[in-house]
Chains A and B, each alone.
Chain A
Amino acid sequence: MRRGFIPGSCALLALLALISAACEREERQFRELPPMSGRQNLPVRLTDLQPGQALPSRIGGGRYEGNAFAISEGKRLYQWYNCSGCHFQGGGGIGPPLMDELWIYGGSPRNIHDTIVEGRPNGMPSFGGHVPDDQVWKITAYVRSLSEQVPKSAASGRSDHLQGPPSEQYRKLNAEGRKLETQPQKARQPG
């Protein structure tokens, strides 16, 4: 039994890693967060640095980032709530594109969530009273999957409609010209 110890423990570690990844990816969560929970009306912020007392972080966070089911729910809601009406399939049109690396109001899950909930100048409506908070988080996770910010194994596959863009999980492999106008984020910060 001795000689099997090292490979055995390696296998165990690999298994544990697999378990944690698989568990997050495959969870189907039906009981939602209470609607409108965690709403705080705080200014848009792209950094944690600030004078005086620290405020709650507006960066990072995000539920469902690695959860395939939630991301696919987000994809469905993105269509149902007509996000595609302005942002199209992520390439942007009336609204800004979502599949590039440029985020006017921040690209962290929290930032995107707040953008959806609060709305932004120049056309982004506020969905705070209409879309339950849990669904906002799902849409957030999906929006981030458009720019490959979630694990590829959790991103959505192709849809059963007319050909859209390549699916979120397959995008990198065949879309070389994807990064449309990649610029350092600072250069385009508002204000």
Chain B
Amino acid sequence: MPAMSAMSAILIPDWVGRHSAIASAGPQAGRIEGLWWLMFWVSTAVFVAVMVALGGAMARRPRILGDSEPPHALTPEERGRMNRLVGGAVAVTVVILFVLLVASVGTGRAIASLSAPHAPIVKVTGHQWWWQVEYVDAVPGRSLTTANEIHIPVGRPVLFRLQATDVIHSFWVPNLHGKRDMIPGHDNEIWIQADRPGVYRGQCAEFCGFQHAHMGLLVIAEPPAQYEAWYKSQLQPAATPVTARQERGRQLVQSLPCALCHNVQGSQASGKTGPDLTHLASRRTIAAGTLPNTRGNLAGWILDPQTVKPGNHMPANTMASDDLQALLDYLEILK
């Protein structure tokens, strides 16, 4: 199985990210993976033992009964032997279960103990069907908002504050940690740390409606310097158009339906109900981890989002081909 996950890691394109509960990239997922392998081998041993016992029963030639005995009753010797065997098996079971209990509680305490002062705080809000990501900083000017893609520094614990405003979602990046539900009215917290740089895929793990299947996110763990650079770039307002077509594109974002839901920092588009587009072009995916962020996909998504994610809240848009190209020109500079 490890070989298999290693192989699939090579094949997976960058925009999808790794996504497996048994290919850990952080201390918590690592401990859980350890617990999994412990349980896996213990369970395998128990299963084999039970099957051997069952096979033994099936292979056995039974004693021919005498006429004097009632055919159904066990002899006292048989009964005593079986009592001892069953009693022994139950005792072994109890011991094994106790060991697993201790291992489980120990692992649980260990993964819950991760924390650090002055850690980055990422507030993630689950929406139908995308993730709003806010980096919370004590200095208001250093807070930023993005969507569906979370960058974290490698080797540092990061505090995730999880919440939902519509239905229940569940935040889950299996390579880093187990899942934690986002429940309206119950804000949750989870600490996560990545030890190895990489792109890790997360997906909503609580059924949340039509597009539960297409509610992915990426966690990108990168060296601290790279992370700081990314953070700085995200703090900038949106790029200003250079060419006339890009300027036309910005006009369109402001005048078309886009601006009703989406925000582009530094323009007049300031909707809050859809993902923030200020740095759209810097993200690897669109439509919450569903499509790679390419010009073609973006065009298709804008014109007909209901084919990609039927039921999502983005309406279809029709526009002249020139307008579309101008719009894409503008969106592509939003690094």
Minimum distance in angstroms from A167 CB to a CB of chain B: 17
Structural contact, B315 and A135, CB atoms closer than 8 A:
yes
Per-residue interface assignment for chain A, residues 9 to 40, with 1 indicating a CB less than 8 Å from any chain B CB and 0 otherwise: 00000000000000000001011101110000
Per-residue interface assignment for chain B, residues 249 to 273, with 1 indicating a CB less than 8 Å from any chain A CB and 0 otherwise: 0000001110111000000000001
Asked if A52 is at the interface of the complex by the 8 Å CB criterion, the answer is no
Counting chain A CB atoms within 10 Å of each CB, the highest count among B166, B273, B315 belongs to B315
Structural contact, A80 and B260, CB atoms closer than 8 A:
yes
**B260: which of A31, A35, A131, A160 is its contact (CB, 8 Å)?**
A131
Structural contact, A32 and B306, CB atoms closer than 8 A:
yes
Asked if B240 is at the interface of the complex by the 8 Å CB criterion, the answer is no
Asked if A134 is at the interface of the complex by the 8 Å CB criterion, the answer is yes
Minimum distance in angstroms from B16 CB to a CB of chain A: 25
Which A residues are in CB contact (< 8 Å) with B166? Answer: 160
Asked if B317 is at the interface of the complex by the 8 Å CB criterion, the answer is yes
Structural contact, A129 and B255, CB atoms closer than 8 A:
yes
Structural contact, A81 and B260, CB atoms closer than 8 A:
yes
Bound-state CA distance A131–B260 (Å) is 8
Minimum distance in angstroms from A187 CB to a CB of chain B: 37
> Which chain B residue has the least Cβ–Cβ distance from A131?
B257
Minimum distance in angstroms from B259 CB to a CB of chain A: 7
Structural contact, A30 and B315, CB atoms closer than 8 A:
no
Asked if A132 is at the interface of the complex by the 8 Å CB criterion, the answer is yes
Asked if A45 is at the interface of the complex by the 8 Å CB criterion, the answer is no
Number of interface residues of A (CB under 8 A): 17
Structural contact, B306 and A30, CB atoms closer than 8 A:
yes
**Given A80-B261, A80-B273, A160-B184, are A32 and B316 also a contact pair (CB < 8 Å)?**
yes
Per the 8 Å Cβ criterion, residues 41-78 of A in contact with B are 76
Minimum distance in angstroms from A30 CB to a CB of chain B: 4
Asked if B310 is at the interface of the complex by the 8 Å CB criterion, the answer is yes
> Which chain A residue has the least Cβ–Cβ distance from B315?
A132
Bound-state CA distance A153–B316 (Å) is 29
Which A residues are in CB contact (< 8 Å) with B316? Answer: 32, 34-35, 132, 134
Bound-state CA distance A160–B261 (Å) is 21
Bound-state CA distance A36–B310 (Å) is 20
**B306: which of A31, A76, A130, A160 is its contact (CB, 8 Å)?**
A31
Structural contact, B306 and A35, CB atoms closer than 8 A:
no
> Which chain B residue has the least Cβ–Cβ distance from A80?
B273
Which B residues are in CB contact (< 8 Å) with A129? Answer: 255-256
Bound-state CA distance A132–B256 (Å) is 9
Which A residues are in CB contact (< 8 Å) with B310? Answer: 30-31
Minimum distance in angstroms from A119 CB to a CB of chain B: 15
Minimum distance in angstroms from A125 CB to a CB of chain B: 12
Which B residues are in CB contact (< 8 Å) with A31? Answer: 306, 310
> Which chain A residue has the least Cβ–Cβ distance from B313?
A76
**Given A32-B306, A81-B260, A129-B255, are A134 and B318 also a contact pair (CB < 8 Å)?**
no
Asked if B311 is at the interface of the complex by the 8 Å CB criterion, the answer is yes
Bound-state CA distance A131–B315 (Å) is 9
Bound-state CA distance A134–B316 (Å) is 9
Structural contact, B259 and A36, CB atoms closer than 8 A:
no
Which A residues are in CB contact (< 8 Å) with B256? Answer: 129-130
Structural contact, B311 and A28, CB atoms closer than 8 A:
yes
Per-residue interface assignment for chain A, residues 78 to 114, with 1 indicating a CB less than 8 Å from any chain B CB and 0 otherwise: 0011000000000000000000000000000000000
Minimum distance in angstroms from A191 CB to a CB of chain B: 33
Structural contact, B306 and A36, CB atoms closer than 8 A:
no
Minimum distance in angstroms from A107 CB to a CB of chain B: 25
Structural contact, B273 and A30, CB atoms closer than 8 A:
no
Which B residues are in CB contact (< 8 Å) with A81? Answer: 260
Chain A contact residues, CB within 8 Å of chain B? 28, 30-32, 34-36, 76, 80-81, 129-132, 134-135, 160
Chain B contact residues, CB within 8 Å of chain A? 166, 184, 210, 255-257, 259-261, 273, 306, 310-311, 313, 315-318
Q: Given contact pairs A32-B315, A35-B316, A76-B313, enumerate 4 new A-B contacts (beta carbons under 8 Å).
A: A30-B310, A30-B311, A31-B306, A129-B256
Nearest 7 A/B pairs, CB to CB: A30-B310, A132-B315, A30-B306, A80-B273, A30-B311, A35-B318, A130-B257
- A–B complex contacts, Cβ < 8 Å, 5 sampled: A34-B318, A35-B315, A35-B316, A134-B315, A134-B316
